[in-house]
Structure 1
Amino acid sequence: MELTTSIKDYIDRSVLCWLATVSDTQMPNVSPKEIFTYYGTDSIIIANIASPQTVKNIQINSQVCISFIDVLVQKGYQLKGKATIITSSDPEFEGMQAKLLLMTEGKFPFQTITKIRVEQVKSIIAPKYLLYPDTTEKAQIASAKKTYGIP
């Protein structure tokens, strides 16, 4: 599934994403990820900085779910797809690594990359937009800033 301009925009605006995986005993695991971006037309890549459980789970079950939102606007996306662990011997590693190193500035070492080929997309929207249809993004941002103590 091709990533839209809107999805890419929300990835760029999101500080963290949350990656959900499942263990061999069917135990769910959700892990925050800081270094992630889109890659090509249909994939998300994530630097595996401190992710041993995530990597282990993906090697067992490649089905994953990733979510990210703009915390002030309180909108974003949930994407589902198949994940692959990319190692330095993979032909794609160098190109992916270059994109992620721009984000880490070399401060966070990583040996592998999770690549998620997106198969399903669902919008995430704060309930306030649905319960109060006159809610604007500007009003939501002001409300979020007040809640989080941001001037």
Structure 2
Amino acid sequence: MPKLTGAVKDVFEKTAIYPVATASKDGVPNVVPIHFVKIYDEETILLVDNFMNKSLKNMQENPQLAISVWDMKTNQAYQIKGQATIVTSGKPFEEAVAWVKTGMPDVNPKSAILMKVTHIYNSQPGPDLGKEL
């Protein structure tokens, strides 16, 4: 299983808005910008479901998703793919709610999404574009 370490982690932490892509069970794509996304551990990403509709439905039908991260200053970019687990109670959900409440006290998160990382790809221009790490 790939790890979110080194350059990938650095670029991830510099990203402010994360394009998150899902697909329905029929393969219809959906991509949305999400702010509350962070590395949960070296193999897991936490996304907070504050306003998801199509994305949440897609993850219920098809748990595969992808996130793009980039650093405009260094031109480093990565695509991270994984499998989602929707959590509505317990420690990850409570942590997600507390995180959102620090910046948006009037928002009530609906769920936490734990994305287990399965693949990391280089997305920066050059000869290694598309190469799996």
Question: Which TM class, normalised by the smaller chain length?
Answer: 0.7 to 0.9
1:60 alignment partner in structure 2: 61
Is 1:110 aligned to 2:101, yes or no? no
Q: Which structure: larger Rg?
A: 1
- Give yes or no for contact 1:36–1:100 (8 Å, CA) kept in 2: no
2:119 alignment partner in structure 1: 120
After superposing on structure 2, the runs of 4+ consecutive aligned residues of structure 1 that deviate more than 4 Å are 99-102
The structure whose residues are more often helix, as a share, is 1
Aligned length: 126
Which secondary structure does the structure 1 equivalent of 2:123 belong to? strand
Q: TM-score, normalised by structure 2?
A: 0.82
Q: CA deviation at 1:69?
A: 0.9
Q: CA deviation at 1:47?
A: 1.3
Structure-2 change in CA distance of 1:123 and 1:49 (3 Å): same
1:94 alignment partner in structure 2: 94
Structure-2 change in CA distance of 1:108 and 1:124 (3 Å): farther
Question: How is 1:18-33 mapped onto 2 (pairs within 5 angstroms)?
Answer: 18-33=19-34
> Kindly, what percent of the aligned residue pairs are identical?
28
Gaps of 5+ in 1: 132-151
C-alpha separation in 2, matches of 1:124 and 1:106: 35
The structure whose residues are more often strand, as a share, is 2
2:41 alignment partner in structure 1: 40
